[in-house]
């Protein structure tokens, strides 16, 4: 899978993407993730990419031209593959595991990070960007949301995690929250690991885990139970 992030802060994104599981997957060629500086495409001699909003109001708006030229440069780099264009925006549809699984099936994602008061609407319409939100709140820029989406999608790619069980048993993947996890020592602060987990009886362990997942979901996210 290829993912291209269009941003004003490529170093910020690169620092995260070079670390841990995602960083190792990039080095091993399991995923291809690239960061592109939108400022490199501005025609302003001071490298400005924003201006005042028409109609007044506080804050600045990212201009259409540098965003457009950056995006076109990226999507035209491969003639035989079509990218799915995503703009990280609090106005978009909310990201969830079902959407992550859908996006993980794509061959190529191009993710635009907004800043300031957002991006000139005309470039979003011109290139038909799909808007996605990470939740009903606002952060200072699209970089963190883009990294969240990239991380969640990348870890579903073949070879990024050791095996499918590494993600298929996690919260939300099957519509339930994950069961509790324990490790050594068996007793800590007078709290013992549940007996079933040290019994070696795999069927009972599987049953216990399912029950714990259902219980946690009912208590903490009953909306997920209603959706399943």
Mean pLDDT, all residues of the chain: 93
Predicted confidence (pLDDT) at residue 226 exceeds the cutoff of 70: yes
Predicted confidence (pLDDT) at residue 22 exceeds the cutoff of 80: yes
CA 46 to chain CA centroid, nearest Å = 32
- Whether the bond between 185 and the residue before it is cis, its omega within 30 degrees of 0, is yes
Q: List the structure tokens of 91.
A: 């106005």
Question: pLDDT band at 33, cuts 50/70/90?
Answer: very high
pLDDT value for 170: 55
* C-beta neighbour count of 129 within 10 angstroms: 22
Q: Which parts of 60-196 are beta strand (E)?
A: 60-62, 84-94, 108-113, 130-133, 187-188, 191-192
Q: Per residue in 100-131, pLDDT tens? A: 999 999 999 999 999 989 999 999 999 999 99
Q: 169-227: which CATH topology?
A: 1.10.1270
pLDDT value for 2: 97
* C-beta neighbour count of 161 within 10 angstroms: 17
Predicted confidence (pLDDT) at residue 168 exceeds the cutoff of 70: no
* C-beta neighbour count of 166 within 10 angstroms: 13
Question: pLDDT band at 57, cuts 50/70/90?
Answer: confident
CATH number of 2-154: 3.40.1280.10
Q: Which parts of the chain are beta strand (E)?
A: 2-7, 32-37, 50-52, 60-62, 84-94, 108-113, 130-133, 187-188, 191-192
Predicted confidence (pLDDT) at residue 85 exceeds the cutoff of 70: yes
Domain ranges for the chain = 2-154, 169-227
């Amino acid at each position: 899978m290829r993912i291209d992030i269009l941003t004003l802060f490529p170093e910020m994104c690169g620092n995260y993407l070079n670390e841990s599981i995602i960083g190792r997957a990039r080095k091993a060629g399991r995923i291809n993730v690239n960061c592109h500086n939108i400022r490199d495409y501005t025609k302003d001699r001071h490298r400005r990419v924003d201006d005042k909003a028409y109609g007044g109001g506080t804050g600045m708006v990212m201009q259409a031209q540098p965003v457009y030229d950056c995006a076109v440069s990226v999507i035209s780099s491969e003639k035989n593959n079509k990218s799915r264009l995503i703009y990280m925006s609090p106005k978009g549809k909310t990201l969830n595991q079902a959407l992550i699984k859908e996006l993980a099936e794509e061959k190529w994602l191009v993710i635009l990070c907004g800043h300031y008061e957002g991006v000139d609407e005309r470039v979003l319409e011109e290139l038909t960007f799909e808007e996605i939100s990470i939740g009903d709140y606002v952060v200072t820029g699209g970089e963190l949301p883009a990294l969240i989406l990239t991380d969640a999608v990348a870890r579903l790619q073949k070879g990024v995690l050791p095996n499918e069980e590494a993600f298929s048993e996690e919260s939300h993947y099957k519509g339930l929250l994950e069961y509790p996890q324990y490790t050594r020592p068996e007793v800590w602060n007078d709290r013992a690991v549940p007996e079933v987990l040290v019994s070696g009886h795999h069927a009972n362990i599987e049953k216990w885990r399912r029950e714990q997942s259902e219980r946690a979901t009912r208590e903490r996210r009953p909306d997920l139970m209603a959706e399943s």
